[in-house]
Amino acid sequence: MSENELNHDEFGTGVGTLMWITLAPWIWAFHFTICYGLTAILCEKAIPDGDVGTLRLVLVAVTVIALAGIAAAGLSGWRNWTEGGLLDKRGETGLGDLASRNRFLGQVSVFLAVVSFIGVVFVILPILMFGSCR
Amino acid sequence: MIDDPFAAYSGTNRPKPEGIYPPTEEMLSEPVDPQWKAACEDRLRKAWIAPKGLAYFTAVNNDKIGAWYSLTALFFMLMAGVLALLMRVQLAVPDNTFLDADRYNQFFTMHGSAMMFLFAVPMFEAISILVLPAFLGARDMPFPRLSAYGFWCFVIGGIFVMGSILFDAAPTSGWFMYPPLSTEAEGIGTDIWLLGLAFIEVASIAAAVELIVGVLKCRPPGMRVNLMPLYAWYVLVVGGMILFAFPPLIAGDFLFELQRGFDWPFFDPTRGGDPMLWQHLFWIFGHPEVYIIFLPSIAIAAMVIPTVAQRPIVGYSWIVLSAVGVGFLSFGLWVHHMFTTGLPNISLGFFSAASEAVVIPTGIQIFVFAATLMVGKVQKSLPMLWISGALAIFVLGGLTGVMLAIAPFNWAVHDTYFIVAHLHYTLFGGMIFPVIAGIYYFYPFFRKGKMMSKTLGRWSFWLIFVGFNAAFLPMHYTGLIGMPRRVYTYGENVGWGWLNMLSTAASFVIAAGFLVFVWDLLRPKRDFEIEKRNPWNAGTLEWSHNVPEEQWGVRSIPHVTSRYPLWDQPRLVERMDAGRYYLADTEFGYRETLITSVLDGQPMHVQRVTGPAYVTLLAAAFTGGAFIFPTFGWYAPAIVSGAFAIVCVLYWLWTATAQIPEKPTSDVGLGLRLPRYASGPDAPGWWAVWITMLGDATAFASLIFGFFFYWTANEAFPPPLAEHADGALVAAAAVLVSLSWGATRGARWLNRHDHVPAAQAALLVACLSSALCIASAYGAVADLRPTAHVYPALICAMAVWLIGHLGLGLIGQGYCLARSLAKRLTPIFDADLANVTLLWHFITLQALITCVVIGLLPGWMT
Amino acid sequence: MLPDHATRSRMSGAGKIGLAALTLTGCGGPQSVLNTAGSDARVLLTMLSVMLVGLVIIWILVNGMMLFFNQLQTGAHEERYARYLIVGGGIFFPTLVITALLVWGLSIMPDQRAPGDGLRVEVTGEQWWWRIAYWPEGAETPVIAANEIRLPVGQRVEFDLKSARVIHSFWIPALGGKMDMFPGRDTRLSLEPTEVGIFRGQCAEFCGASHALMAFHVVTMEPADFDAWLAAQAAPAMAPDGDLARRGAAIFAEQGCGACHAVRGSDASGQVGPDLTHVGSRLSLGAGILAPTLANYMAWIDHTGDIKPEVEMPAYDHLGDDELTALATYLMGLK
């Protein structure tokens, strides 16, 4: 085997690296689940017609953390995307070498971070706009 | 043994790939010896030959299974289409008596169920099985017998479900089977739906497992993840979605059938149950399902458009983003089917927001296609006509979807013909049209050089396109002026008559279009001229297949360095044909394919793939029995049939998987030697177990979700004075399952380090602990009365689930013990034990969570 | 099969609605989202109109673009334009449009679920009819009715929705959105009629064989007319007037109709089927599916199952024509 022989840890480096690009959407998913779950439990069990002030505070805090996480995922993706070269290399994600593959994974992470960011912002809108569980 | 070829190796020192990789241009230009080439071709032909005569149906080659699969799905689609026409006749005029209420309700239920479960999802699997190996330059799918098994399950289940309509016994509660209407429905219709479709869902998961492993591990050397054909990306995403979407429905089916068969009150509000749980579980499946249908069809467009534009796709990464993003977001939309169920406004808001957010990744794909056409030199062709029609229809369906995702607007038109129009726009535009485009495009690949008729193709396009819009565009208005869906008749004075007449008339135009298409597809083409091998001048590997047909898939597996190797790698096809590339020969006359690494497609080992067998057919038939007999309340025959199914599968595993190879490594060509055996994460089988268990864990999570759902929905859950599971026995089960897990893990370590007898002893301990664990799990719930209230019912259901899994784990442990005693499992060749250990990680996790939920949580909650 | 309907005609007084006088007006008939008579429905209609215009524009733009690139463009464009197209069309444009739409959509949700002004109407979905109980503000006992809803204009009415066995969905398109009705789970809806008229509502969630035949009329009235009407509904049934009607009442009693139906003021007090105390004043028969004519009353009693498949009420086909006439006359007299 030649120069780019890798450690064949299929489970860790293999799928692990591939899953890494989905970090931002996973954060979206967790954020979504927390928002939905907490609201469902509180509105059913605690405050059916009451004030949602505390819930709002908690979910806004969760959202800030989620957005920070997505931003970090996007930033790390950005580094991979632009690594080893200037911005003008950006387009070359389709070459048959290791660097190009890394740039591609970085680029997809950035795009997914953008979409996840929008998704999280959308999901927090109702809790900001509604005052009760009705 | 004197010349044991493995003498130099041990459990911790296994054969590794050796030699040169990647190949140099010099090596590739070296000519091939023509005599050797002819000999290889003979050997390959012999290995891949399809069985003849009656044994023809034992074939497992992906092109056979894929073709049967897609034709069967097409058949069910036509049947469901006929049902639609009959319904349209009934609705043509007010107060019509062409169909009575019961028959109409059977028809609309079967129309929806068949289109979704017997056509749309199976069609994705069928087409993927048919084309994916060719996209990836692989000889076949990694587990051909699993595809065959899945296909035969589909045939049996499909005929069973669809056939019920001929006996006037079909389900009548609509394709989403809402309880309590469906739980209270008389007759066996509901049971046919539940068991028949659960059976097909299992087959779908089998196909998803195989497709994911195919994309991850069976790519050609050099095809890194950034070079995969876009179709493969979509398959990966959709496969993952199936794993997370289908299991909640299977869990729901499980609870539902327990209520139907044994009166466990999961959806009965008088005993603490709640029909809303079914709606949640159904739509957690149901909405991703829409994208499971839509994404693979868009994937076809992503293959056609670069060919039409004669240039690589612009924004490959955008498409990947879009597929992955849609895959995720689609799981946050399910409540938009439940906007009118009275959930809190805030909850509705979350789902409204997510439903709007999914528009962004969905829309990106369309702009990527437009951008690719914009920078290319567009060649007009029939597939592109269908794709354009698809986009025109889908965009309208998508835009009405944007409207429907706004909760208040949804309150106005939910459950009306506006929805009927919307969903048919998304499914015709998002599935039917792209798939037909794909059939026209890939036909010369399927039939090796023969083309379908351009004239007939245009005729069917315009008939279907015009007919479709004339039938469904007015339905938006019909819905707005008040017509609810699923009504078998309507009165004269509501003013819906002329609109329905128009829709009915146009539906026959659609039918005429389909007739033209199906005729063109199926008519004999024996005397058609064979065109070029790559008639569209496409850039991806499927067009390298030999014309006329050879059974071996690819003659030799190429080294790929581009997204469009046929455009960018000169002389690639010529070298493939010459057998210059990898695996040009089959040393022992076996069917083989190349396994590569997940990220970079580096060659790892040679995988022997399974060939034709009767046992897969038998296994499917017995599995069918296990699902079909309970419909009629025949539980004993069902159990016997299930046991036979297990025996068949064990026989199939024993005789055909993880076989000890003749020698440690093989020369695969171009100076590379690869091992002939792999275990653990290197082996595709290990991945199959991992992926299957991920789906299984999702189903389990749905049961846990049910537990918390009942807790929020009931005033008191567990109810006061409820009987609980026996705490001591639950604790004993937890200890025993941990012991069994530890012993299995220990056995793997001991075996790998050459302590074979100790490993066998550990496996024996594991088997005994599992058996005891089953006994204590049973004992813990034996005294509960599950028909009394949903709380004991759910505890018992979780215990049944657990016992089933422990039983499976026990069979696995026993199988490894037997393999070890039979010397088919040795320190070097321990794939079975590695897989069973992995299985036990999942079982143990589920078991411990179950113990906490049934043993500890109720105490904390009260 | 269905009575003449109509909308928006001014009515002179409670209980005096002549069907023949009503004409079909407005947009799309009596059961239309487009023919609004309530504040919630009006907001939804505005929203629909705006979204529809947006839909048409975007559809034309996207398909126009595809058509141009497919058929009309002469040569390849530069690649950087492609990137602008993807980012602009795929990210910026939809994000802007959808954010605006989402904020608008969310902003109207609380109003649509605002609490009522006093009158509460409890509606229970049965297979396949509607059990109705009016609870005016402060009332201790409800006024029971069935299969027809009358509402005062100008105030927000709260609906408590329940179901007996299976899921139904309560929907009056002219007044607002719909809400599902569950067994064992209460849901609520509030609507504010703003215009006087007669409309139609229908069950929107599939609920079994006769799902198609589960409708009702909605009559919106001036508050004073409504109060008078409600007082009349609260009163017991009128005594049968005339020999034929008296004979009908006797048949009603001897056939055991009272086991399932209540006629307040008589011995009939069954709770299984619709309350018939004022059935003769309703605009329809069989839950919004038949015009209340003598022939229809007779046909309904004679062969219920043919008109409404799988309905629970048995067919009284052993009765002769004269008995059916008497029974129908009695029921029609229960104004």
- Per residue in B503-559, pLDDT tens? 999 999 999 999 999 999 999 888 787 778 899 999 999 999 988 888 888 999 999
Residue B275: is the preceding peptide bond cis (ω within 30°)?
no
The pLDDT assigned to A43 comes to: 85
C113 Cβ under 8 Å from any chain A Cβ: yes
At residue C7 the predicted structure's pLDDT band, cuts being 50, 70 and 90, is: very low
Task: Enter the pTM of the model.
Answer: 0.94
- Residue B821 and residue B234: Cα distance in Å, rounded? 43
Residue A86 has a pLDDT of 54
Q: Could you tell me if B413 and B480 are in contact, meaning their C-beta atoms sit under 8 angstroms apart?
A: yes
Residue of A118, A121, A124 best to disrupt the C interface, most CBs of C under 10 A = A118
Using the Cβ of A24 and the Cβ atoms of chain B, whether some distance falls under 8 Å is answered with no
Provide the Cα torsion C181, C183, C187, C192; round to 10°: 40
A126/C110 Cβ within 8 A: no
At A14 the pLDDT is 76
Interface test with B, best of A63, A70, A118, A122 (most B CBs within 10 A): A122
**Is 60 exceeded by the pLDDT of residue A89?**
no
Shortest distance between the Cα of A131 and any Cα of chain B, in A, equals 9
Which residues does chain B have within 8 Å of residue A104's beta carbon, measured at their own beta carbons? 225-226, 316-317
Evaluate the omega torsion of the peptide bond into residue C110 and state whether it is cis, within 30 degrees of 0: no
- Sign for the CA dihedral angle at B565, B571, B577, B580 comes to negative
Q: Could you tell me the CA-to-CA distances from C112 to C107, C177, C180 in Å, in that order?
A: 10, 9, 15
Looking at beta carbons, which residues of chain A come within 8 Å of C159?
Answer: none
Across the interface, of A114, A125, A134, the residue whose CB is closest to C103 is A125
Chain A contacts in chain B segment 611-650 (CB below 8 A)? none
- Equal fold, C1-75+113-223 vs C243-332: yes
DSSP B429: I
d(CA B567, CA B539): 5
Segment B421-427 mean pLDDT = 97
**Candidates A10, A41, A132; nearest CB to B598:** A10
Look at residue C24 and give its three-state secondary structure. coil
CB contact C28 to B (< 8 Å): yes
Write out residues 102-121 of A within 8 Å (CB-CB) of C.
Answer: 114, 118
Q: What is the mean pLDDT of residues B612-633?
A: 93
List, in order of start, the domains of chain B with CATH numbers.
58-522 (1.20.210.10), 692-861 (1.20.120.80)
Task: Check CB contact under 8 Å for A94 and B348.
Answer: no
* ipTM score of complex: 0.93
Instruction: Give the neighbours of chain A: at least 3 Cβ pairs within 8 Å.
Output: B, C
Q: Which of A31, A108, A116, A128 is the best residue to mutate to test the B interface, defined by the most B CB atoms within 10 Å of its own CB? A: A108
* CA torsion angle B363 B366 B371 B374 (round to 10): -140
Mean pLDDT on C322-327 = 96
pLDDT at site C304 = 94
Mean pLDDT over B816-830 rounds to 94
Torsion of CA B561, B563, B569, B574, to 10 degrees: 100
Chain C: give the shortest CA distance to residue A126, in Å: 7
Task: Quickly state the pLDDT bin for C16 (edges 50, 70, 90).
Answer: very low
| Predicted pLDDT of residue C27 | 62
CA C231 to the chain's CA centroid: 22
Mean pLDDT, chain B, rounded, equals 93
Chain B residues within an 8 Å CB radius of A17: 599
Confidence of residue A131 (pLDDT cuts 50, 70, 90): confident
Q: Which amino acid is at B465?
A: F
Which residue type occupies B528? F
Q: The tokens of B51 are what?
A: 């069985």
Question: Nearest residue of A to residue B565 by CA position?
Answer: A96
Min Cα separation A70/chain B (Å): 14
Return the residue matching tokens 């499946």: B285
What does the pLDDT read at residue B720? 86
Instruction: Dump pLDDT digits (tens) for C211-221.
Output: 999 999 999 99
Phi, psi (5° rounding) for residue B44? -65, -45
B118 token code pair: 């017997």
Q: B721-759: per-residue pLDDT in tens?
A: 888 999 999 999 999 999 999 999 999 999 999 999 999
Phi, psi of C121 (to 5 degrees): -120, 125
- Please tell me the distance from the alpha carbon of residue B743 to that of residue B408, in angstroms, as a whole number: 57
Residue B1 has pLDDT above 50, yes or no: no
Instruction: Answer whether C109 sits within 8 Å of A118, measured CB to CB.
Output: no
Q: How many angstroms separate the CA of residue C210 from the nearest CA in chain B? A: 7
Can you give the residue ranges of every domain in chain C?
1-75+113-223, 243-332
Residue B2 confidence (pLDDT): 53
Domain chopping of chain A, boundaries = 24-129
Whole-number pLDDT of residue B722: 87
Arithmetic mean of pLDDT, A43-48: 76
Whole-angstrom CA distances from B772 to B646, B730, B740, B746, B760 are: 21, 12, 10, 19, 19
pLDDT for C72? 80
Fold of C243-332: Immunoglobulin-like (2.60.40)
Taking residues B343-361, report their average pLDDT: 94
**Is residue A23 within 8 angstroms of chain B, CB to CB?**
no
The residues, any chain, with a CB within 8 Å of residue B87's CB and separated by 6 or more, are B99, B104, B107, B108, B111
pLDDT digits (tens, 9 = 90+) for C143-179: 999 999 999 999 999 999 999 999 999 999 999 999 9
Show the CA angle centred on residue B241, arms to residues B236 and B244, nearest 5°.
135
Which one has a higher pLDDT value, C4 or B784? B784
Instruction: Report pLDDT digits (tens) over A50-61.
Output: 678 888 999 999
pLDDT reading at A111 higher than 80: yes
Q: Do B346 and A133 touch (CB under 8 A)?
A: yes
With CB atoms and an 8 Å threshold, state whether A108 touches B321: yes
Instruction: Report yes or no: C72 at the A interface, CB cutoff 8 Å.
Output: no
Are the Cβ atoms of A44 and B600 closer than 8 angstroms? Answer: no
How big is the B-C interface in CB pairs under 8 Å? 284
Superfamily of chain region C1-75+113-223: Cupredoxins -  blue copper proteins (2.60.40.420)
Q: Chain B: nearest CA to C67, how far in angstroms?
A: 8
DSSP H/E element including B275? helix B275-309
Beta bridge partners, B216, equal none
Contact C51 B412 (CB under 8 A): no
A82 touches chain B (CB under 8 A): no
Residue A134 to residue C107, Cβ atoms within 8 A: no
Asked if A37 is an interface residue toward chain C (Cβ–Cβ < 8 A), one would say: no
CA C13 → CA B650, B743, C223, C238, C277, distances in Å?
81, 85, 11, 19, 20
Of residues B151, B394, B408, the one with CA closest to residue B290: B394
Calculate the alpha carbon distances from B242 to B25, B239, B328, B331 in Å. 41, 5, 12, 11
Reported as a single tens digit per residue, the pLDDT across B833-852 is: 999 999 999 999 999 999 99
